[in-house]
Structure 1
Amino acid sequence: MPTVSVIIPTYNRAEVLPRAIDSALDQTLSDVEVIVIDDASTDDTETVVTSYDEPRVTYLAHETNRGGSAARNTGIEVATGDYIALLDSDDEWAPTKLERQVETLEQRSSEWVAAYCGTTLIDDEGANPVWERIKSFVGLHSAKEGREGGEELVKEVLMENLHTSAGSTLIVDSDVVDQIGGFDESFDRYQDTEFLIRVLKQGKLAYIDEPLLRRYPSGGPSADSVRQANTHYLRTFAEDVVELETRGYDVTGIHQYALASLYLREGRFNRGLAYLRAGQTPGLRQLPGLLYTVCTGIQTRLTD
């Protein structure tokens, strides 16, 4: 049995997929199995994966596209490792990522069932360098990381105060993954976050304060699809949301503000302003980011 089972769901990413697979195979913790789940790709994904002359790599394929949650569950079903590690097919790990996480968890008590790590966001090569410089100052790329703990972190996740990039940073005790039943296949967005919240209700989450994940830009979902997924997400954790809002935390307002930003970025200003009025009032630190999204939306409208 390997120490870690790496689960890589993929769909039509044959060009960048080797980057993720290679980074999993090149770990200093070599006792791993890498399970790639092809969610009915129409490109050369199968050829790319089966070209690896490596017994640690397993290729599984869906006959029809079932979504990321189902793909991860397919991998989890055949995984044999002590830990399950998640990796998106367009991301890349530093060589010491798994070793540092396993070492951290095994040095702590059994309460600590999962770990995540710091990230480095790689800017789009085609991006405007002036805007990238501005974003570095206003903090649009600064993920909020570094928190450790258990169920008390559910509040931080729902309040958007804790961003873990769980789909590529998270490693979880396989027994816990079994206990919570893997991923909820009704989620096509927020799937990693929903999974993380259920993990936090089982035990504690550790943090390795090193940038052990390189995340690459891959576009993003439309505001409409995020809105639908957001509704499902907040309804799923309605009891937690009500409890937090009873204590004065404006969970709904924070999510409405996030939707406002997405609509403004798409240049859909009427919808964006409606969510902005309904959402949480932005603070001074949020104003530069809000201005940036408006400018992006104006640029989008001009180029349409």
Structure 2
Amino acid sequence: MLQKNENKQPLLSVIIPTYNRPEYLKQAIASAVNQTFDDIEIIVSDNCSPQNPQAIVESFNDSRIRFSRNSSNLGMFANTIKAFRMAQGKYVASLLDDDMWEKDFLAKLIPPLEANPDLALAFCDHYLMDAQGNIDDRLTQECSQLYKRNHLQEGIYQPFSRIALVDKSVSTATAAVIRRNVIDWNAIPAEVGGSWDIYLNYLCSRSGLGAYYYPEKLTRYRVHEQTDTMLSGKRDPQAKIRKAQADMFCYQQFMTDERLSDLKPYFQQQWAHVSTTLGIGLMRSQRLKEARAYFWSSLKESIKLRTLAGLMLSFTPPKIASKF
């Protein structure tokens, strides 16, 4: 089913890729529908959820919503990029199906882009909330500090490669508005996988255009058992492997880009760190020989105790090594 907005082309497209989170999805859509800026379309792309969310979408009775359901599960990356490709707006913003926007998110981020054609994107800070939607002030503050948004001044950053790729202050997954034509949405490689947001940061920053920062928390990022960062932990080695492979691909791309040569030492350091992470994921899956190769590669870049410990354990029996 596909609901089309028969009005003129919207100024902004909201994309909401979703899979099997009906209650969270309802809240995410509501936060998009209730934006004070209303010249939008809302694209909900369902990745063949066991429970078809069509009824949830239709319950809003909003002609701005376009709903598409895949006949089979395409994977998270393919479903997300498909939604971006469906966008018709001058600008595009991603809203993950378990997150929410404040009512004035778009109203505060679109004007700087409209006023300055030399901006690739506008972004803001965000809250962290728990599974029930309660804001966690401590985690929110720690997140702002970790990604260096707590001291970032309002205004234009050009170039912004460092704050996008090193500090990771920019969150294109749920806290940014992007000028859609800055990116060739058909040329994003599948290897990007779960790291598509940092790759969008890369594509936007290498465009030569600037970024505008609005120093207010205008979105709410939900931390729960199905969050990607949680799934990449000890309980799901396959998720850890997939995420590490995606990160490694990205850092390899960044290292070979001459326009980012001043940041290459950082990318090499991160590549080594992620190589160790991938080795640990493989070891937990009892793929010791493969893991060992990544530990060796990491040690060639830098010697870390974590990597050395992983390498030594890779020579122990699989049942022991997998406990690392």
Whether TM-score is above 0.5 comes out as yes
1:163 corresponding residue in structure 2 = 169
2:267 corresponding residue in structure 1 = 251
Give the Å deviation of 1:121: 1.2
Q: Give distance in 2, aligned partners of 1:81 and 1:5.
A: 5
* Alignment of structure 1 residues 103-182 onto 2, 5 Å: 103-107=111-115, 109-123=116-130, 142-145=146-149, 146=152, 148-150=156-158, 152-158=159-165, 160-177=166-183, 179=184, 181=186
Q: Give distance in 2, aligned partners of 1:257 and 1:140.
A: 23
Q: Secondary structure at the match of 1:211?
A: strand
1:191 corresponds to 2:191: no
Preserved contact between residue 223 and residue 259 of structure 1 (Cα < 8 Å): no
2:256 corresponding residue in structure 1 = 239
Q: Secondary structure at the match of 1:164?
A: coil
Q: Give distance in 2, aligned partners of 1:238 and 1:280.
A: 16
Give the Å deviation of 1:74: 2.6
In the alignment, which of 8, 22, 30 is matched to residue 14 of structure 1?
22
Give TM-score scaled by structure 1 length. Answer: 0.74
* Cα separation, partners in 2 of 1:2 and 1:193, compared to 1, 3 Å: same
Q: Secondary structure at the match of 1:9?
A: strand
* Alignment of structure 1 residues 84-99 onto 2, 5 Å: 84-99=92-107
Q: Give distance in 2, aligned partners of 1:92 and 1:137.
A: 18
Aligned residues: 273
| Identity, % of aligned positions | 23
Preserved contact between residue 168 and residue 213 of structure 1 (Cα < 8 Å): yes
2:66 corresponding residue in structure 1 = 58
Deviation readout 1:56-96 (Å, 9 max, x if unpaired): 11101111222333223333333222211111111000100
Deviation readout 1:83-112 (Å, 9 max, x if unpaired): 1111111100010000100112223x3111
2:220 corresponding residue in structure 1 = 214
Q: Secondary structure at the match of 1:77?
A: helix
* Cα separation, partners in 2 of 1:91 and 1:183, compared to 1, 3 Å: farther
Give TM-score scaled by structure 2 length. Answer: 0.70
Higher relative contact order (CA 8 A, sep 6+): 1
Any stretches of 5+ residues in structure 2 without a counterpart?
Answer: 1-8, 233-238, 305-322
* Cα separation, partners in 2 of 1:240 and 1:58, compared to 1, 3 Å: same
Preserved contact between residue 25 and residue 97 of structure 2 (Cα < 8 Å): yes
* Cα separation, partners in 2 of 1:67 and 1:154, compared to 1, 3 Å: farther
After the TM superposition, list the runs of 4 or more consecutive aligned residues in structure 1 that deviate by more than 4 angstroms. Answer: 135-141, 258-265, 274-282
CA RMSD of aligned residues (A): 3.8
Q: Secondary structure at the match of 1:43?
A: coil
Give the Å deviation of 1:187: 2.1
